Amino acid sequence: MVDPNQYAAWQDPKAMKSAAYQNGPNGGPGTVNSDDIANAGLDLKAIDETPAVKHHSMIGADGQTIEYSATAGHLIAWTPKSESKTAGPDAQASIFYMAYTRDDVPHNQRPVMFIFNGGPGEPSIWLHLGSWAPHRLLVNAPSLPTGTEMPAPDRFPLIDNPQTLLDQTDLVFIDLPGSGYSEAIAPHKNSDFWNTDADAKVFRDFITAYINRNNRQSSPKYLMGESYSGIRTPIVADLLVQAGTSNYLPDPSKATPQVLTGVILQSPIMDYGMRSTPASQNLSFIWNDGSSGSIEGFLPTLGMVVDYYGKATARNGRSKADYATYLRNFASGDYAQGLYQQTFSTNVTTTLSGITGLPENSINPGRMIADFSSIGEVIYPNNGQNAHFNDYDGRISTIEPINYDLDNYEDAGFYGNIKQLLLSEFGYQNKDPKQVYGSDIAFDYWWKNSAIQHRGSPQPTSVPDLAEALTLQPTLKALVFHGYHDGVTPFFQTELDLEAVGLWSPTSPVQRVTVKEYDGGHMAYLTEASRSGMRSDLRSFLTASTTSSSMAATSITSQGVAR
């Protein structure tokens, strides 16, 4: 963590330096530096939108045979006429996508899901290779070899995935300009899209282009986003709902068009400014990226991590779900009140000790319990000062020296598999063999150029966008997934954010937004024991929302949703 004043200096755009474009196996350097990637823009005439396609069959979870096409290529995202600053259509970016579509069912009313990761600046590789596509990498978190002699895994087994969502919906994985193989189109450059609003708009425009190119106007449509896409996805959803069908081309099937059916958020951050209960407002801390976090929102995650290591005495035989509820109630009740008043009662100190494993005599309102390092001495009593925790999954830790970044141990294994998958599954090979699939520089531009701002707020929140989309289109459904052990986007923080605007309540039997938690970290789908529960919840959500959307499709107008 850094002091807010230090962050102000760190955020200075002049501090940005040209650096080697790092990505690929073991973080190896690419062929160009970061400024070259940021300033790149393709010639429109050089873009070929002809995709690579291969046909496959697989066996789904219920034993049925699924015939599908794997399609990879580029589509141009055009600015809508209503927003174009040129006399004609404005070609913004050549967006790289990887789509899985069923061959054995009609397309015109089959659901389609658009999927993207976060960062901001990451390609869709994590959800693509880790979650619900026809094949996935077997990571088996939190299992991880550690020690000075052990490198980070450079490969994970690529296995068939009978839990794929393809039995229910087509899947389209999307990379933002400057990541994956997506690039801006001159005179635009990649960095033009490395800000909150332009990023959301170019995703909206790609989705519209894909719908029109593939005659998916009448398909139920879903968005799935992870991490930073907790900001991106609700904004894209709101933009799509506001546009309605106004940017659709005529559908040859003449079926009733549909705009948006559901939004799924995996481990989202929804408010960089942090929301909390009145008792704990301003009791926040500053992360290295300049965003703030809530001590109240983080405590339940810390408690679940301590319990994973068997060091929590406060659980007292409660089920995991009941213990999480207990932690929420304590965090937003006595704990938040004590922090606000800067004094802890004996009961609060005792309870906090039972949750964290910390000695009672070391607990006071001035001791910030805001990251996993605060429990190093609990998990490793004899060597706590040398403890390393994976912030994305607190179940992963070590006190041994390691020669790689524990937070990002999956990187080499994922990037080492993507080109192989593109060739074997899609028949796709990039024209420039030196081009690195990926990006890790857009994040810096987002923050250092203050491009993260949205709706006039220096610390953006997408909660109003989600609320607006749900209000404009009452049939729209939303589902949020979190891992109990994710220290980067804590589950209770999202619930606080949603509760603040009436989208979620701990006591209401009917939720406008459904929130589900599972064992696991930021990418809970990498935990084998959690996958069946997640897939079951996804199945129920897709079934219910698709039925509801189809029944309400007649409410759509060419100017947007009926009001």
Instruction: pLDDT tens for the chain, 563 residues: list them.
Output: 222 222 222 223 332 333 333 343 333 444 456 778 888 999 999 999 999 999 999 998 888 899 999 999 999 999 987 776 666 789 999 999 999 999 999 988 899 999 999 988 899 999 999 999 999 999 999 987 655 556 777 889 999 999 999 999 999 999 999 999 999 999 999 999 999 999 999 999 999 999 999 999 999 999 999 999 999 999 999 999 999 999 999 999 899 999 999 999 999 999 987 654 444 444 554 444 444 567 889 999 999 999 999 999 999 999 999 999 999 999 999 998 888 888 999 999 999 999 999 999 999 887 778 889 999 999 999 888 889 999 999 999 998 888 888 898 899 899 889 989 999 999 999 877 656 676 667 677 776 666 667 887 777 889 999 999 999 999 999 999 999 999 999 999 999 999 989 999 888 877 899 999 999 999 999 999 999 999 999 999 999 988 766 666 544 444 444 32
Distance of CA 422 to the CA centre of its chain: 22
Greatest C-alpha distance within the chain: 72
In the numeric block, the tokens 């993207």 are attached to 116
Question: What CA–CA distance (Å, rounded) separates 553 from 6?
Answer: 51
Whole-number pLDDT of residue 446: 74
In DSSP terms, 416 is beta-bridged to: none
Alpha helices in 285-410 (DSSP H): 295-308, 320-330, 336-341, 346-356, 376-379
Question: What CA–CA distance (Å, rounded) separates 484 from 305?
Answer: 8
Whole-number pLDDT of residue 149: 57
158-160/284-286 β-pairing = unpaired
Whole-number pLDDT of residue 367: 77
**What's at 474, amino acid-wise?**
P
Distances (CA, A) of 400 to 385, 403, 451: 11, 10, 39
In DSSP terms, 102 is beta-bridged to: 68
- CA nearest to 230, candidates 505, 561, 454: 454
Whole-number pLDDT of residue 430: 86
DSSP 192: G
262-266/477-483 β-pairing = parallel
Whole-number pLDDT of residue 4: 26
Q: Which residues contact 377 (CB under 8 A, 6 or more apart)?
A: 358, 384, 385, 387
Buried b (16+ CB within 10 A) or exposed e, 450-479: ebbbbeeeeebbbbbbbbbbbebbebbbbb
Determine the number of helices (DSSP H) and then strands (DSSP E) in the chain: 15, 20
Are 262 and 542 a contacting pair, CB within 8 Å?
yes
Are 257 and 556 a contacting pair, CB within 8 Å?
yes
Whole-number pLDDT of residue 284: 54
- CA nearest to 225, candidates 487, 466, 539: 466
User: From start to end of 504-554, where are the E strands?
Assistant: 513-518
In the numeric block, the tokens 């034993």 are attached to 63
Show the domains of the chain with their CATH numbers: 51-64+72-102+112-272+410-561 (3.40.50.1820), 278-407 (no CATH)
Are 174 and 127 a contacting pair, CB within 8 Å?
no
Planar angle of CA 438, 443, 448, nearest 5 degrees:
150
